[in-house]
Structure 1
Amino acid sequence: MLRERADESALATIEHLFGIQAQEPKSPYVGLWTRVRNFRPQELEDLLTNREAVRILLMRGTIHLVSARDALGLRPHTQLRLDRELQSGPFASRLRGLDLDEVAEAGRKILEDTPQGTAEAGKQLKERWPDREHTVLGNALRNKLALVQLPPRGLWHKSGRAVCTTVENWLGQPQQAMPREELVLRYLKAFGPSTVMDAQQWSGLTKLGEVFEGLRPQLVTFRNDAGKELFDLPEAPRPHPDTPVPVRLLPEFDNILLAHADRRRVIADDRLGVVVGGKPTVLVDGYVVATWSVDKQKNITVDYIDKLPSSRQKAVAEECDRLRAWIRT
């Protein structure tokens, strides 16, 4: 949806993109603005407050904005990775010897009774496990439970700290893992043509090769310049390489920068620090050439990585003017 803004609802766009990176609470709003014609922040705020969309830990162990339906279907797929993180991550040694399932169930009762931050819940858990740090116990809940961050966290006109409860409690429905085949097809709809490794990089899952093989009769395949096999949906749009791509302003950690193992289709390897550092980026002709920032007066500043001809700089300035006008409304 970066080649041409779509006439779609915010919810349809979120589902088409199979979630939007949302580590920064307001970044999904810019991500939708740059993809959807006439998008207004109130539309996304309504989705969050009406429980049609949620902010939840998903792909790659990071916060994503997804539809309620996708939250229930995607979250079970992430559990194995999150469990492994607890076993080998920075808190592993301080969790050793704990029955993490027992900790999780105790935390579930706390957070479903009174939504709160995981650190606060950790303080209550410490009463039962006094030899453990409350922050470590809270982090265990972050990984072991499917927690959603409740509004006003993530609202455009008003924000707040991360207050959590379980997705089952918030949505009133149990989790039910979608088939891995559906997961791969949805990924390709958003980000194909892609390799198996691309899908695994995006999702944080492993062993997707067998899923691609099972779906092969339904897909089309290509070879890239390196000889790697790419998969795509037969009906997916694949514009000619010379198709013009307009200037686009992307928020922090935008999906298009993180959805493939080989990111060189969008950004050079030696510039990945820009993405990792969480800087909003500027696409010119579909490639990252600059970063941008907005100050308290809603003025936008662009820092160029590449030298651009004046015509391209003018196009960037015009897109910045459009974003500034939208932010100020």
Structure 2
Amino acid sequence: MPSAKRVATASSGKSRQAAADVLSARALNRALLARQSLLERSSESVPAMVERLLGLQAQAPNPPYLGLWTRLRDFALDDLTAAMQAREVVRATMMRGTLHLVSAQDYRRLRPVLQPVLQRLSLQSGHARALKGLDLAALRRAGFEALRAQPLSATALGEALRAHWPDHDANALALLVRGAEPLVHVPPAGLWDSHKPACFATAIDWLGTPIDDGADEAAIDAMLLRYLGAFGPASARDATTWSGLTATRERLERLRPGLRVFRDEAGTELFDLPDAPRPDPDTPAPPRLLPEFDNVLLSHAERSRIFEESSRGSIFTRNGLVAATILVDGFVAGTWKLQRDARSATLTLTPFKRLKAADRQALEREADLCLSIAAPTQAQRELRFVAATA
């Protein structure tokens, strides 16, 4: 357990003082890395790891594969492909209204919890405003029936809906159905190197069980507790950032008796599971390569546990992209990029600062492993370092 100093904090507006453990950014970093299998690779199966992580963000097909590679021993690309084709792992719109890979069981558990978030996001879009006054229940029923016949692309779904509402934009109609109705992407969408447009199927057809339209309080609490297990210690704002849910503070207050409570160095209250791993802050953290859109970078409101604020502009772009990053001593220390064609593959590492020789050598080993996984058929493989200016 990390050593922690004590601070006095006001409790519930009373003058009574309570002591709270203060966790440094480094202590929070090691807790996060331990739970994300970034201190030591795991021997779990692909579905088990996807489930423990509460999903992997999956806007693009390849990053989830590399996110699993950096966390699992003996991972092969075919392991995730097989899990998706076997319907053990599915690709769907989930937390924050973004595409994720989740286990089939977690889709059944979490989709009802997220339904209000997804519905709200779809109704707030410009497309939804253009459809103001439309009978949304009728639209949803029509979309469901169209997709029961066969999986459809977004374009085909929009055209099927436009047959009922010819005066409305087909794309807007399809987007509203995709937000309101539990749908999954049918492979090959989401498979390694797949660039085909996604086709959508109803969850009841793909997974064989109906998905509830809403969740009870116990299901919402269970998701928040699992979030703490994967990303904690975390604040109420962190939980909202990850999930998109509202009223997380009130829910965590209700759960407080069964939780450990800490504070970060800014005084923000953090909640955690009592028995979750919180390694010593000086625990060694081996260099790792994280793919684009890794949830380690996206699941907290306050992110000093994983990168310095000065690095934000190098990690996040204005158009919403998230770079593939290098971890050195547990924190983001640069970015990397993989470029491939039929004959060759080049992995370029761009550290923010000059690296120690041991860290550079460890990163080279990770990069070589990444090339062997991501470019197995390319005869020429090259590793490049861009010299740091600092």
TM-score of the aligned structures, taking structure 2 as reference length: 0.81
Picking from 185, 189, 194, the partner of 2:229 is 189
Please state how far the C-alpha of 1:298 moved relative to its aligned partner: 2.4
Is residue 85 from structure 1 mapped to residue 121 from structure 2 by the alignment?
Answer: yes
Q: Distance in 2 between matches of 1:57 and 1:87?
A: 15
SS at match of 1:64: strand
Unmatched tracts of structure 2, length 5 or more: 1-36, 377-390
Matches within 5 A, 1:92-241: 92-156=128-192, 160-176=196-212, 177=215, 179-241=219-281
- Please identify which structure carries the higher helix content: 1
Letter in 1 for 2:196: G
Q: Distance in 2 between matches of 1:158 and 1:119?
A: 18
Percent of residue pairs identical: 43
2:39 maps to which residue? 3
TM-score of the aligned structures, taking structure 1 as reference length: 0.95
- Please identify which structure carries the higher strand content: 2
Picking from 15, 18, 24, the partner of 2:60 is 24
Please state how far the C-alpha of 1:270 moved relative to its aligned partner: 4.2
User: Does the 8 Å CA contact 2:61/2:193 hold for their aligned counterparts?
Assistant: no
Q: Distance in 2 between matches of 1:204 and 1:157?
A: 29
Picking from 301, 320, 324, the partner of 2:367 is 320
Unmatched tracts of structure 1, length 5 or more: none
Q: Distance in 1 between matches of 2:310 and 2:163?
A: 48
Picking from 290, 295, 298, the partner of 1:250 is 290
Letter in 2 for 1:309: K
User: Does the 8 Å CA contact 1:222/1:230 hold for their aligned counterparts?
Assistant: yes
User: Does the 8 Å CA contact 2:113/2:219 hold for their aligned counterparts?
Assistant: no
Q: Distance in 2 between matches of 1:151 and 1:271?
A: 36
Please state how far the C-alpha of 1:89 moved relative to its aligned partner: 2.1
Alignment root-mean-square deviation, CA: 1.6
Please state how far the C-alpha of 1:85 moved relative to its aligned partner: 2.2
Letter in 1 for 2:347: I
2:356 maps to which residue? 309
Letter in 2 for 1:287: F
User: Does the 8 Å CA contact 1:119/1:139 hold for their aligned counterparts?
Assistant: no
SS at match of 1:302: strand
Please state how far the C-alpha of 1:94 moved relative to its aligned partner: 1.1
Please list the CA deviations of residues 184-233 of structure 1 after superposition, one character each: whole Å capped at 9, or x if unmatched: 11111111111111111100101122221222222111111011111111
